[in-house]
Structure 1
Amino acid sequence: MKRSKRSVNYSKWGYIFIIPFFITYFIFSLIPLLDTIRFSFFEYFRSGMRIIGPNFIGLANYKALLDSDMLRYAGNTMVLWSLGFIPQIIVAMLLAVWFTDKRTKMTGLQFFKVVMYLPNLIMASAFAMMFFALFSTNGPVNSILLDLGWIKEKIDFLGTPFGTRAMIGFMNFLMWFGNTAILLMAAILGINEEIFESAEMDGCSPFQKFTLITLPLIRPILTYTLITSIIGGLQMFDVPQILTNGQGSPNRTSMTLIMFLNSHLKSRNYGMAGALSVYLFIVSGILCYFVYKMLEEKDPTGMMREKAKKNKKKDVTLNEK
């Protein structure tokens, strides 16, 4: 008699182990998301001691937001994000290339990584409070500049739109450039050294190696960094909220979309808050899609192109014969 072999199916255990995640996601993420979308179509707010709604009003909340200052606050958000992200990615890339270059022979690399990452460990609220104290009219920065004789009158750093925006951008830069630099360093160190050695033997300059080898091969990490930064920029709240005391001063030039959303939540206007959340969700998705498509590269090393050229030459040779 032949003994029947009993096969053990382990695939079901994978589904069993991921059930807790899906239960948690369903309760704490999916249901609130769907509820937010539902509230965006209703008139639902508090007037004094009386609660109005929920009354279905269709797209009225979305239209009211377009007629409000939402687009202006969206512009503020993009300006503040750009002031922090552009120097962040430039400095992070320079540090990553410098620290991973074998010719520099730098020692204590782990120490520098820790120092760069330290600002990321400080809470954004504490960071904002520290800068508010340092750069206030009676703060130590003004006192030092007066003692050195570099200025004759105290500077109101937070009294102008440029000063406030520059301060917020500088804080965002300091908090995140270390994290970005470490990500880019890991990506560059993951590139095979033989590729760089072959490029050097072919006479490539350092600039050519960076533009033709390093940048294409770290494209996935650059895409991840840009997408997460865009999402974080659209959710910018704590630094401008604390630095401007929630007013977006001066003249609401530092008011972000999430601060605008928070004002609706404070007034218990859940319908408008839901509609604004949906707008943010749609804009985030569109921006991330375009960034992904722009940075998508199916053949970063050029191997497929070279192979196609060789095959084409072979075909031409055979046809001639």
Structure 2
Amino acid sequence: MKRFIHNLPKVELHLHIEGSLEPELMFELAQRNQVAIPFSSPEEVREAYQFSNLQSFLDIYYQGARVLLHEQDFYDLTWAYLLRCQQDRVLHTEIFFDPQTHTERGIAFDTVIHGICRALAQGEQELGITSQLIMCFLRHLDEESAFATLQMAESHLDKIVAVGLDSSELGHPPEKFERVFARAQAMGLKTVAHAGEEGPSQNIKNAIELLGVSRVDHGVRCVDDPALVEQLSLSRMPLTVCPLSNIKLKVFETMDQHNLMQLLDQGLCVTINADDPAYFGGYMTDNFLAVAEALPMSKAQAAQLSLNAIEASFIDQQLKQKYSQLVTDYLNRCS
């Protein structure tokens, strides 16, 4: 099963590019940019990655992002992630970036997006990895800040496929950003949102009904509402689940308690993703393996998780068919 998972063609839909900042690169950029960080070694950084909840993670996450200052930094960050995608047989990735994390520090929006997009273009050309870019609003900031960020994105609509909503879920429900999301949709952007991770299942409903999302990021708390689970199954509303993240942030105590396979068995369009892999201990293959080791998972189910991600992606139908065929052919060869 390990070999099957390692070589399984994969698609990632829930990845925060700032959350792929490995301690070694953090140190390299800190030295290059002469930014002081409160750690003496990459090992010390890793030891600090013990989180009790989402907020304890976010505190160190935003601290780490301070080393990202120049276009080359964002390029290096994204390129390092794409090399991991190549290792993990990721065919396509739809990455989140958080412009407010950087513009609030005086970094130009253009600096951020140009660095990321230069790496993504090179990734498609040299590695054959296709990609899409999703701009997230930080939900702990106010609506006005989100509108200002959306305005900054107007000259880059050719590079951004959707807007999302991340950061602290508790106390910041989806309805706080209803008007911003309506404006984004009027601009031709798709929408996704983090909901039902630490927050209640009602946040999932509100993200769907008020924000018009095409996908729900996380969504594991849907099980608190059986009617919602049935609705998600019938509508094939995708959930971008992040298993290792959920354990690290204590959404579930242990992986054998995770509800991912239960949701898959109930016909939901669940997918596996890495979230913030540098902080949560694993990229795509690591997440698949962690689930397979803790919960019953057949080769057909692992393949279905990949097929779900292809179905839920924002690529065109022709590319979806191509990638789905690769997964199906691989499963047939290995069965």
Q: Answer 1 or 2: which has greater helix percent.
A: 1
Structure number with larger C-alpha Rg: 1
Higher-RCO chain (CA-CA 8 Å, sequence separation at least 6) = 1
Q: Considering the TM-score relative to the shorter chain, is it more than 0.5?
A: no
Where on the TM-score scale, by shorter chain, does this alignment land: which range? under 0.3
Q: Answer 1 or 2: which has greater strand percent.
A: 2
Provide TM-score, normalisation by structure 1.
0.23
